[in-house]
């Protein structure tokens, strides 16, 4: 696959995983070592929006979708980290968001944009009313990780543990067998963001992760220390954060084209 078919690294990884699964679980044979040529993973620069592009895209969003986009760009959250936020993770007084069990199962703290305070408070109060109604109707429990529901039986019904961006409908949780409100579907927001970018005439491949990339780049442009940005993004090592310094070296930001001097 790597030599003849010229496949992507992810495609080869998927095929290799299937190959290993068959040998281990179907044929009952253990493979200690595989000497295979591996497809190379391409090194790509992240797609970063300019500040006018961010503003134009956000102007095409409204309601909850706008608030999610503001948090992704304003706090550097990954989309799933944002959708999995609980009520207790928002600290208005300290102006910070606590991200629980992020990538690598790590907790971290990031900044809470002041411009989101009013809408977030309004959302929290709306969630409180919906949760109280769920309790009255005999529901109101939410899934908790790491068997916390067993250790603290009342915790699933506490408002602090409810999802901030909860689904509009209750559904059956296949893990706990409870009828509860899971967090909203991140795919719905991704589609809304894509449509907003098209209406804003932003001709880039826009995904929710672009807003996180833009957060990091614009923080560095504004003079933030790279170690601080590393902590806010939740990178274990500074190397992944360094990619945004390469983005800063694009013409128009730190480099001036000689053609412009010639025309002068």
227: domain CATH number is 1.10.443.10
The question of whether 212 is a catalytic residue gets the answer: yes
In a domain, 262, yes or no: no
**Predicted pLDDT at 74:** 94
In a domain, 79, yes or no: yes
In a domain, 261, yes or no: no
Residues 25 and 55 in one domain: no
User: Of these residues, 84, 86, 213, 244, which one is catalytic?
Assistant: 244
Q: What is the CA radius of gyration of the chain?
A: 22
Residues 29 and 140 in one domain: no
In a domain, 256, yes or no: no
In a domain, 205, yes or no: yes
Provide the whole-model pTM: 0.81
Quick check: 103 pLDDT over 70? yes
In a domain, 132, yes or no: yes
Residues 7 and 122 in one domain: no
* SS3 state at 209: helix
- Is the CB of residue 12 less than 8 Å from the CB of residue 40? no
Percent of residues, the chain, with pLDDT higher than 70: 93
Q: What's the CA gap between 112 and 98, in Å, rounded? A: 9
The question of whether 103 is a catalytic residue gets the answer: yes
> In the chain, what is the straight-line distance between the N-terminal and C-terminal CA atoms, in Å?
52
User: Of these residues, 103, 182, 194, 218, which one is catalytic?
Assistant: 103
In a domain, 259, yes or no: no
- Here the tokens at position 58 are 């956000």
User: Of these residues, 78, 108, 127, 131, which one is catalytic?
Assistant: 78
**Predicted pLDDT at 104:** 67
Q: What's the CA gap between 124 and 85, in Å, rounded? A: 12
Question: Mean of the per-residue pLDDT values for the chain?
Answer: 88
The question of whether 163 is a catalytic residue gets the answer: no
User: Of these residues, 84, 86, 183, 212, which one is catalytic?
Assistant: 212
The question of whether 73 is a catalytic residue gets the answer: no
Tens of pLDDT, residue by residue over 176-228, are 788 889 999 999 999 999 999 999 999 999 999 999 999 999 999 888 889 99
Tens of pLDDT, residue by residue over 65-90, are 999 999 999 999 999 999 999 999 99
- What's the pLDDT band for 253 if we cut at 50, 70, 90? very low
The question of whether 235 is a catalytic residue gets the answer: yes
Instruction: Say how many domains are in the chain.
Output: 2
Look up the domain containing 138 and give its range.
51-247
The CA distances from residue 19 to 15, 24, 72, 264, in Å, are 6, 9, 38, 62
- Is the CB of residue 210 less than 8 Å from the CB of residue 48? yes
Tens of pLDDT, residue by residue over 133-163, are 999 999 999 988 877 878 888 999 999 999 9
């Amino acid at each position: 696959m790597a030599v003849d078919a010229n496949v992507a690294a992810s495609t080869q990884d998927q095929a290799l995983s299937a190959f290993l699964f068959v040998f281990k679980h179907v044929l009952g044979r253990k493979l200690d070592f595989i000497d295979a040529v591996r497809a190379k993973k391409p090194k790509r620069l992240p797609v970063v929006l300019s500040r006018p592009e961010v503003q134009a895209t956000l102007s095409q969003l409204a309601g909850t979708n706008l608030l999610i986009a503001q948090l992704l760009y304003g706090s550097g959250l990954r989309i799933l980290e944002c959708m999995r936020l609980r009520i207790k993770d928002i600290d208005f007084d300290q102006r910070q968001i606590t991200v629980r069990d992020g990538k690598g199962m790590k907790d971290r703290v990031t900044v809470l944009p002041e411009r989101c305070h009013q809408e977030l408070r309004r959302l929290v109060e709306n969630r409180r009313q919906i949760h109280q109604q769920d309790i009255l109707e005999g529901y109101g429990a939410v899934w908790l990780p790491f068997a916390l529901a067993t250790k603290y039986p009342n915790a699933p019904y506490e408002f602090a543990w409810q999802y901030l961006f909860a689904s509009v409908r209750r559904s059956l949780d296949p893990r706990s067998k409870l009828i509860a409100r899971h967090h909203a579907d991140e795919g719905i927001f991704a589609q809304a963001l894509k449509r907003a970018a098209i209406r804003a005439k932003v001709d880039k491949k826009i995904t929710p992760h672009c807003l996180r990339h833009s957060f990091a780049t614009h923080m560095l442009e504004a003079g933030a220390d790279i170690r601080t940005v590393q902590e806010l993004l939740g990178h274990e090592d500074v190397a992944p954060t360094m990619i945004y310094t390469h983005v800063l070296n694009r013409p128009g930001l730190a480099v001036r084209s000689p053609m412009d001097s010639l025309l002068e």
